Amino acid sequence: MGAPAIGARRGSAGWTRAPRGYAPRPVPLLEIQGLRKSHTSPDGSRQEILAIDHFAVAAGEEVALLGRSGTGKTTLLNAIAGLAVPDAGSVTIDGTDIVRLSEAARDRFRAANLGYVFQTFNLLQGFSALENVELGSAFGRGRDRAFARELLVRLGLETRLAHRPAQLSVGQQQRVALARALANRPRLVLADEPTGNLDPELALEALALLRELCRDVGAALVLVSHDRDVLARFERRVDLADLNRVGRAAAQEVAS
């Protein structure tokens, strides 16, 4: 007897063929379920920040999250990156629930599989542009100077490889930050207001470069922004005030 067809189901009479048009549901690259996160207020009470029932991103997908103040945008990205541990729920990336990992294991997983673009760039001031990008891969798949150089050249920084952040313009610093996020060839890139410190023209240019690099390495992209021009470039857009029940309540409170 041969192997059952893809999508076949097993019943009491044996294997039966799935209905015509059936396609197996793809496993998401990122899947969040029942995520809850709170912190202790100065008065000792607990304040809930995140209450997300479900959120999923497919491999290679690009998702823009509209993140107004108070919707938990940075906390959410930090939870996905394993930088913040939720009170409950799961954050599964490529089959691994990172909530169940130890802190050291989360650090190793993040270094090997994730890229993070910060609004404030977070470049190391004592290192050159090339060294900053190299460090993006040093703790994951291993330092790769050739690929770091290739990324910077593609971003038009071939004459700035040895320059330190203070010697670069704001737009050039942002491009170094983009290259660093992609240096480990991540499966998933998180971007927290990556264009927030740029003027409108540079913002859209940086966004185009980020999306191009993500597609080249096959990385999914989850980007948070409040910039309508940036959000309009994405086919899938999610309002965090709708996704996060805490943010939804806050938005309704303001509206009332």
Distance CA 150, CA 118 (A): 21
Residue 139 lies in a domain: yes
Q: Give the pLDDT confidence of 18-72 residue by residue, as tens digits.
A: 566 655 556 799 999 999 999 888 888 889 999 999 999 999 999 999 988 778 8
User: What tens digit of pLDDT does each residue of 189-232 get?
Assistant: 999 998 887 888 888 888 999 999 999 999 999 999 988 899 99
Q: Would you say 232 and 66 are in contact if contact means Cβ atoms under 8 Å apart? A: no
**Residue 226 in domain:** yes
Place 247 in a pLDDT band, splitting at 50, 70 and 90.
low
Q: Does residue 122 lie in a domain region?
A: yes
Instruction: Name the percent of the chain lying above pLDDT 90.
Output: 66
- Mean predicted confidence (pLDDT) in 161-189: 95
Chain center to CA of 91: 12
- Split into its structural domains, the chain has a count of 1
| Residue type at 207 in one-letter notation | L
Number of H helices, E strands in the chain: 9, 11
Indicate the DSSP class of residue 242.
H
Which strand (E) or helix (H) includes residue 123? none
Q: What is the DSSP string of 202-223?
A: HHHHHHHHHHHHHHHHT-EEEE
Domain annotation covers residue 33: no
The side-by-side arrangement of strands in the sheet containing 236-239 is 114-117, 188-192, 220-225, 62-66, 236-239
Q: What is the CATH number of the domain that holds 244?
A: 3.40.50.300
The closest alpha carbon to 86, from 30, 37, 15, belongs to: 37
The answer as to whether 201 is a domain residue is yes
- Domain residues for the domain of 192 are 59-85+97-255
Predicted confidence at residue 143, as pLDDT, reads: 84
Question: Is residue 224 within 8 Å of 240, Cβ to Cβ?
Answer: yes
Residue 65 lies in a domain: yes
